[in-house]
Structure 1
């Protein structure tokens, strides 16, 4: 029994050893294959020349002059952007627009401005009714004062006529007394009547002055009441939030029930006018810029470029970043929304470099190479270091000389 168990144990150890040896062998073979041990080796040395195929086009390596371009980054902004806010303190009762909605402003000749929101107007309506009632009361008081002034003036005219008659009678009785045709009692009576009418006239004139002063006071009250009505109506109009100009609502910053106050933004509105690219340009590049200069603005998110014209150079440099803000006008396009990333290419002189057709460049892994035509007409592979690509050409920084010919398929 013990012998059988020992035999079984030896067989088990043998099998495990055999499995481990097989796994090691497979691993060694796999590593040798990955290292290229089963492939035909290429002996060190220069590349073997290859005869060019018939009809293959050759292109000489040329030296070209290109502008030195420095790219500055910027952000697309609307030329006109407004934070719409309330002029009064009131609760938001109704919101009539959503983010992304187009609105019509007062700048449109046809059509009324879009109502964006309404505020609670209960208190202002009460104030308006009170002001209108006061104005009506002042209007009635003015009618009374005007009638009183008219009556006082009529009284003055009547008393003045009586005074003239009294003066005439006194003069006549005085002359008759000198001729002994009238008694002294008659003359004294005429004098008393003259003095009475004179006093009555002065009293009537004072009454006119009092009535005129009362009318002036009522007129002042009427002007004050009219101003109160106009103010209440203006305040009532302020409860309606209208679009200041035509554009698009890009942000809503208030909800129904919120309390609006002066200076608190309710909506962010973007105009329909042409957008701009706002870029921070390094101070050293500013001398190479001038207003009216044309650029090709690259918008990475849209994978395309837009023509732009430099419209403004802000005459102020940031002391921290040493940059100056410039604004480039872009054509109207619905795709150019606020916040897009853009590139502004600025040319600062020129430089010379060797170029070959971009089609002549081939790749081997991560390495670039071209096929150079030798003096014997055969082509040899030569690795090169490339620069920028532009206008169907690619810059060659190292690996080629001017005048050499490359195969350009």
Structure 2
């Protein structure tokens, strides 16, 4: 029933669009979401979990890098944190012992009792060591967090749902920082990219409904102008237009040929 209503709406709108003054423009189906996934660190590819054309869900594993070197770095960071925490507890205990000793001397001999000046000097020294160790613990904890982030990038996961359209890696390849490894495109949220000449720019506006046709599968629907964007090259005298539409359950993919019909200006 809903499909019949859509077809009826399309035919009604198409009837109003297709006049002698209507303009048919060609365009290309593009994805509204494209994810380019690369490496932040240098290393060898250990495993690749996807191949071209695979559909992936958010958080699915894509590939994994060798972790031997990173395992050592992680162990060193954890060891440094553990040692600095032990040192922190030592200086805390040391401060408690000296303060206790100071209290005993104060009760027995008074503020000017034997060794009081020496105890005060020890307390200041221990306090300085305690503050220094706290800084060490903080830095070590930050290092552990950084290594946790590194490990998240050793096993790369899909940032969003989509289809793998480009895969530049295989097991054993060396990945360099910034190198494109995998590209994923969202095939559910599609748009049509159209170039307009400046002579017809006054016939379109954002939010305007247009007839949309995908000739290869004989699919027709109603789209809406999402954005009108100046072309990056001013010498072309062209304006880019993005038209959003509902693909439904049809096999429509980025790169397909499409048409949009701009109605006669009234």
* Structure of greater relative contact order (alpha carbons < 8 Å, 6+ residues apart): 2
Q: Please identify runs of 4+ aligned residues in structure 1 that moved more than 3 A.
A: 315-318
Question: Which of these residues, 102, 117, 123, is aligned with residue 202 of structure 1?
Answer: 117
TM-score (norm. length: structure 1): 0.58
| Equivalent of 1:335 in 243, 251, 258 | 251
Task: Map 1:261-340; keep pairs closer than 5 Å.
Answer: 261-316=176-231, 318-333=233-248, 334-340=250-256
Match of 1:306, SS state, is strand
Q: Kindly report the root-mean-square deviation, in angstroms, between the aligned alpha carbons of the 2 structures.
A: 1.9
- Tell me: CA distance 1:274–1:332, structure 2 relative to 1, closer, same or farther (3 Å): farther
Q: 1:142 is matched with which residue: 62, 65, 88?
A: 88
Asked if 2 retains the 8 angstrom alpha-carbon contact of 1:163 and 1:201, the reply is: no
The worse-fitting range, judged by mean Cα deviation, of 118-127 and 303-312 is: 303-312
Q: Secondary structure at the match of 1:335?
A: coil
The answer on whether the counterparts of 1:67 and 1:349 sit within 8 Å (CA) in structure 2 is: no
Specify whether residues 349 and 134 from structure 1 end up closer, same or farther in structure 2 by C-alpha distance, changes over 3 A only: closer
TM-score of the superposition, structure 2-length normalised?
A: 0.87
Residue in structure 2 matched with residue 218 of structure 1 by the alignment: 133
Change (3 A) 1:233 1:304: closer
Instruction: Name 2:3's counterpart in structure 1.
Output: none
Confirm or deny: 8 A CA contact 2:35 2:185 kept in the other structure. Answer: yes
Contact preservation (8 Å) 1:285, 1:346:
no
- Report the equivalent of 2:97: 151
Alignment of 1:98-117 (within 5 A): 98-105=51-58, 113-117=59-63
2:21 equivalent to 1:75 = no
Contact 2:187–2:253 (CA under 8 A) maintained in structure 1 = no
Equivalent positions of 1:1-400 (< 5 A) are 66-105=19-58, 113-164=59-110, 197=113, 200-316=115-231, 318-333=233-248, 334-349=250-265
Check the 8 A contact 1:277/1:327 in 2, yes or no. yes
Q: Deviations over 1:47-86 (max 9, x none)?
A: xxxxxxxxxxxxxxxxxx9340222211100111111111
Whole-Å separation in 2 of the counterparts to 1:229 and 1:222: 10
Q: How far, CA to CA, are the matches of 1:294 and 1:349 in structure 2?
A: 13
Give the Cα separation in 2 of the matches to 1:147 and 1:349: 85
